[in-house]
Structure 1
Amino acid sequence: MRRLAPALALGAAALVAVTGCGAQGTSSLGNIKLAAAEAVQQSAQRAGEVTSYSADLVLDATGGDRGASKVQGRLLYQSKPALATDITLDTITFGGQNVPGGARAVLVGDTVYVKSEMLSKFAGVTKPWAKVTLSELAAGDQARVKDFMAQAQQFDLAGTVKMLTASKDVKAVGTETVDGVETTHYSGTFPVAEAAQAMDPAKREQLQKQLSRVKDVKFDLWSDAGSLPRKVTLSGSEQGATFNLAAFFKGFNEPVQIAAPPAEQVGELPKGTGGN
């Protein structure tokens, strides 16, 4: 789990930092021409209405203390009637070493379910899934699993768009089709320190931790005629470490199926799993 947990955390950190735009330039959204800053404000308003969606992502990172890394996967998210997420990471590579079989984590209610070959191999889990409650994470020493789930709970489009309004140089650069949907393409940068201040306190600390080595993040946003983000890329570099993220969003406000695995397939997550 020592290799699995940081992999999950990085995958979730990548997902947290998605969507946005913010400051000058003009573009057409439907039949209305909006300045880029106005467009992102409208995006934030529309994103606040989204209660469910799915996303595909690819994260590549180089440098740093882990060497070259890659995380590729997908997620389902819903905020109503209760918060639930289902994250599948098909590819997890750190320093040229793969996490066999990838990993999957499901949050339903106050319980986290994790599935990975690494749990069976190194943590002695005898069933396909292991579970732990959020309260147990808060009181226990599964530090990295706790960090992962804290990040998983931040998958909210409205908060992310609000964060990216910290950009002072965003501009519209044209129109493009993403997955068959016509979009407006925006490009810009945002300072991490200022973006963190736009977040609520519970999420601010996590963001600062995730991007502690990066001062400024470059982003590209492809927003549809309804001001919803269809594609986002993020990139940054600091002290020899770089990252590039591509995320595709779809299924806004459509029903999603997120359920706990069958009880007979679930065991307890051993105490101390994913510690420091």
Structure 2
Amino acid sequence: MRRLAPAVALGAAALVAVAGCGAQGTGSLGNVKLAAADAVQQSAQKAEEVTSYSADLVLDASSREKGASKIQGSMLYQSRPQLATDIKLDTLTFGGQNVPGGARAILSGETVYVKSELLSRFAGATKPWVKMPLSELDAEGQAGVRRFMDQAQQFDLAGTVKLLTASKDVKAVGTETVGGVDTTHYSGTFPVAEAAQLLDPAKREKLQEEFSRVKDVKFDLWADAQSLPRKVTLGGSEQDMTFSLTAFFKGFNEPVEITAPPADQVGDLPEHRGGN
């Protein structure tokens, strides 16, 4: 059984770090006028029905302790016939240190394929891609990869928009064009503690961990005439830490092509430990 090297687990986590009532204002979706809170609820319901999409993602974060970090890339997502994602990170910077070559991860069924110069260096991989099937990992390694898979699901379109329904102050702030599509712009905040209760226990724990130092998250949502979320931003600050996430969504329910890398480009996770 292989043990997942700390460097591998760290790389996998980095790859994924990149997915109410009583509100004021109204928005226009199609020819129907909706209260802002109802519009967000409807957008969350529509997001639940989406089985595939593509997204462009940008995450900026900074803290006095760790410095500035930036993740920028894109992803393909499908939930049927099985969960699969293809995440490409063109920019990957932590604490002001750039990760050369960025990174890419393909999750297909019970297997994660990772491509990263940094990962190859620490893990001693001999092929561009490293394959991590759960069946070949020990208990600790399996837990690490499952956390990766859980994160991929947690930060999907539906999970992200669902958090916004915990808002008690959302309001419509205007109409804007996003990616050539007319949308209504909503803005508000949601309390992390209450939003977490909308998720199942495993995802709830991860959310609370990710936002452990943030009480309230500011958000903006741009929804089209079909209530589909075209753009979502999340941001917050607490003490010495600030973060901002922007996601553009498109290609709803359109076919996506997510395939494993060519066999001759894939190597197994080396038997020896890395990072110890």
| TM-score, reference length from structure 1 | 0.90
Match of 1:153 in 2: 153
Report matched runs for 1:93-132 at 5 Å: 93-132=93-132
In 2, Cα distance between the equivalents of 1:27 and 1:124?
54
Report matched runs for 1:19-38 at 5 Å: 23-38=23-38
Match of 1:189 in 2: 189
- CA 271–150 in structure 1, closer or farther in 2 if over 3 Å, else same: farther
User: What displacement does 1:227 show?
Assistant: 0.4
User: What displacement does 1:10 show?
Assistant: 4.3
Indicate the larger mover: 131-140 or 194-203: 131-140
Alignment coverage as a number of residue pairs? 272
User: What displacement does 1:51 show?
Assistant: 0.2
Match of 2:70 in 1: 70
- CA 3–241 in structure 1, closer or farther in 2 if over 3 Å, else same: farther
User: What displacement does 1:13 show?
Assistant: 3.1
- CA 84–9 in structure 1, closer or farther in 2 if over 3 Å, else same: same
User: What displacement does 1:24 show?
Assistant: 2.6
**Match of 2:159, SS?**
helix
User: What displacement does 1:202 show?
Assistant: 2.4
Write the letter of the residue equivalent to 1:100: P
In 1, Cα distance between the equivalents of 2:69 and 2:26?
37
**Match of 1:153, SS?**
helix
Write the letter of the residue equivalent to 2:194: E
Write the letter of the residue equivalent to 1:79: S
In 2, Cα distance between the equivalents of 1:227 and 1:95?
38
8 Å CA contact 2:7–2:122 kept in 1: the answer is no
Write the letter of the residue equivalent to 1:251: G
In 2, Cα distance between the equivalents of 1:21 and 1:162?
13
In 2, Cα distance between the equivalents of 1:44 and 1:275?
41
- CA 133–22 in structure 1, closer or farther in 2 if over 3 Å, else same: farther
Any stretches of 5+ residues in structure 2 without a counterpart?
none
In 1, Cα distance between the equivalents of 2:252 and 2:133?
28
* Match 2:17 to one of 13, 34, 37: 13
8 Å CA contact 1:7–1:92 kept in 2: the answer is no
8 Å CA contact 1:27–1:36 kept in 2: the answer is yes
Superposed CA offset, 1:137-193 (max 9, x none): 571347765543331132433333222211010000000000100000000000101
In 2, Cα distance between the equivalents of 1:227 and 1:199?
21
- CA 11–120 in structure 1, closer or farther in 2 if over 3 Å, else same: closer
8 Å CA contact 1:21–1:161 kept in 2: the answer is no
Indicate the larger mover: 54-63 or 151-160: 151-160
In 2, Cα distance between the equivalents of 1:249 and 1:222?
10
Write the letter of the residue equivalent to 1:55: A
Instruction: State the percentage of identical aligned residues.
Output: 75
User: What displacement does 1:21 show?
Assistant: 10
In 1, Cα distance between the equivalents of 2:52 and 2:63?
35
8 Å CA contact 1:6–1:144 kept in 2: the answer is no
In 1, Cα distance between the equivalents of 2:272 and 2:133?
14
User: What displacement does 1:103 show?
Assistant: 0.5
- CA 5–59 in structure 1, closer or farther in 2 if over 3 Å, else same: farther
Any stretches of 5+ residues in structure 1 without a counterpart?
none
Match of 1:226 in 2: 226
